[in-house]
Amino acid sequence: MIGACLAIAVSAEQSAQPANPHADVLSIGGSVTEIVATLGQGHRLKARDTTSSYPPEVTNLPDVGYMRALSPEGVLSVGPSLILSEEGAGPPEALDVIRAADVAFVEVPNALTTKGIQRKIRIIGKALDVPTRAKALSARVGREMTKAIQDSTRPEGDKKRVLFMLSTQGGKINASGTGTAADALIRMAGGVNAITDFPGYKQITDEAVGMAAPDVILMMDRGGDHGMADDELFDMPAIKLTPAAQNRAVLRIDGLLMLGFGPRTAKAVRDLNHALYNEGA
């Protein structure tokens, strides 16, 4: 069985301080919050959304709710002077009300590439008035990503087929096709996305899973009682006849690390590559 257990030490520079009277920023989106902290501006965070879980200190901040189900009252009640929001927050009618309020609102575009991550960093750095720090962090991330991707390169014939499963609600598999963060990470880490027939995430049939013939199942590490046990996973009719089930090959990785496409993505690339090819972290 392939396993990945990831832990990251948080530096003092990244620590958020909820009691700071000068905190003025509401961060919506896990990667946005992580970039704010990595830029040394964690002390300015006044509140965050539910997806913001790294660095761990930010979980002590007021939580305005899930980024795709925000309420204007909840967002504005924390009294931010600046809202940094990842693209895709909503619902749209709630954002219309929030944007109409007397609060600076900066939307940060999603990213699936190194340049996209660097752009996110620069946009956030500009909004926080720390462009020099953002330039330095952007350059560092660029170097780390380039090396991680180069080190993960595999010959085509050696690449493992990876099926990313977003959920298994009702026994139906919701899997990643092309153009997703999971798809991008799999390719960066030297793997092949086993599902390429459609873009985005979609519920797929048992037959489609069988035809995909994944060597490895990749899932978010939901922890506790929220995750699916190995025996239950490999006993699913769609999975049980795949190469992944025969080898009991499943990887569970922290969702924000894997799909956030922020400052730690180079680590996610390395860790996934090492886990796929048994090279050790």
In a domain, 150, yes or no: no
Strand partners for 167: 174
Residues 265, 180 share a domain: yes
Alpha-carbon span 93 to 160, nearest angstrom: 43
In a domain, 72, yes or no: yes
Alpha-carbon span 276 to 250, nearest angstrom: 9
In a domain, 93, yes or no: yes
Read off the pTM: 0.89
Average pLDDT, the chain: 91
Tell me which residue of 238, 166, 244 sits closest to 208, measured CA to CA.
238
CB atoms within 10 A of CB 66: 13
Output the six-digit token pair for 242. 């795949």
Output the six-digit token pair for 29. 């989106």
Mean pLDDT lowest for which of 76-85, 220-229, 271-280?
A: 220-229
Tell me which residue of 41, 49, 132 sits closest to 85, measured CA to CA.
49
The pLDDT confidence band at residue 171, using thresholds 50, 70 and 90, is: confident
DSSP reduced 3-state for 23: coil
Task: Tell whether the model's pLDDT for residue 186 goes beyond 70.
Answer: yes
Residues 178, 100 share a domain: no
Going by the DSSP 8-state scheme, the letter that residue 51 receives in this structure is T
Alpha-carbon span 37 to 169, nearest angstrom: 34
Domain that holds residue 205: 156-276
Find the CATH number of the domain harbouring 213.
Answer: 3.40.50.1980
Residues 94, 162 share a domain: no
pLDDT for 256 equals: 97
CA atoms within 13 A on the CB side of 160: 26
If one counts the domains in the chain, the total is 2
Task: Tell whether the model's pLDDT for residue 241 goes beyond 80.
Answer: yes
Contact (CB, 8 A) for 254 and 221: yes
For 92, 97, 100, 277, the CA distances from 234, given in Å and listed in that order, are: 39, 46, 50, 20
Kindly state the percentage of the chain with pLDDT values over 90. 86
User: What is the pLDDT averaged over residues 33-40?
Assistant: 98
User: What is the pLDDT averaged over residues 155-174?
Assistant: 94
Domain boundary among 45, 75, 108: 108
